[in-house]
Amino acid sequence: MAFNSKQYKDQLSQLVALPSVSCGIPKWDMPNLPVIELLANWFGDAGFKTHIMPLAQTGKANLIATLGEGDGGLVLAGHSDTVPYDENRWQSDPFKLTEKNQKLYGLGATDMKGFFPIILQAVQPYLQQKFKHPLIVLATADEESSMSGARALAKQGILNTTPRYAVIGEPTELTPIRMHKGIMMESIRVRGQSGHSSNPNLGKSALDAMTDAMLELKNYAMSCNCNIAIRVLQYKHPH
């Protein structure tokens, strides 16, 4: 089946036209439910069983669309929200899909509303076949801010199977990536003891202790070929 570029552009244009900014600053945050409902209609028309999963926040929801039944299966996962935008820095309307120099511009066109019309194109040749394992499409909320959509999905365990594989539709310049960077945040608190220059041995320097800790962390980072960002905060213990 040939790629239907007209249909792809039309569907992407409709998605871009629906604002779905997610942000920790309330005045910039927006619902994503209109995007989810539109996707549910499209996947439902294609034969998927669709489930809209409301979140605690008003106007926020996930979509779970399933084709086929059984154990295992493949998950195609993406998010339905976008980052905030500064209209003054855009050369075109962020909510209108614009084609220029054979590229499509619009808020969220690549990251990552464009993934869902691609899925609909890719499954077309297989819609009349009986799947031995399910194909599950996830569209989550608030990936760009609180991850509330993914958190709710993990907490409620609404999937009826444990998928064997997953493809995340984040843009990677069409280069498949098997692993992704992670993040871990820890804190170390060092408490010193005040002293006097007349007898320094009675004091304990918190800075000296923290310097030793930072050196150990840097050595560890070199040994495991990872990056560690260290931020030192001064904390004055109340007397």
Active site residue 86: no
Phi, psi of 53 (to 5 degrees): -105, 100
Check 29, 81, 111, 144 and give the catalytic one. 81
Active site residue 29: no
How far is the C-alpha of 201 from the C-alpha of 204, rounded, in Å? 7
How far is the C-alpha of 67 from the C-alpha of 45, rounded, in Å? 12
Angle of helix 5-16 relative to helix 115-123, nearest 10 degrees? 150
Instruction: Please answer whether residues 24 and 38 qualify as being in contact, where contact means their C-beta atoms are separated by less than 8 angstroms.
Output: no
**C-alpha closest to that of 234 among 213, 215, 210:** 210
Check 29, 111, 143, 144 and give the catalytic one. 143
Which H or E element spans position 167? strand 165-168
How far is the C-alpha of 37 from the C-alpha of 51, rounded, in Å? 10
Residues designated catalytic: 81, 143
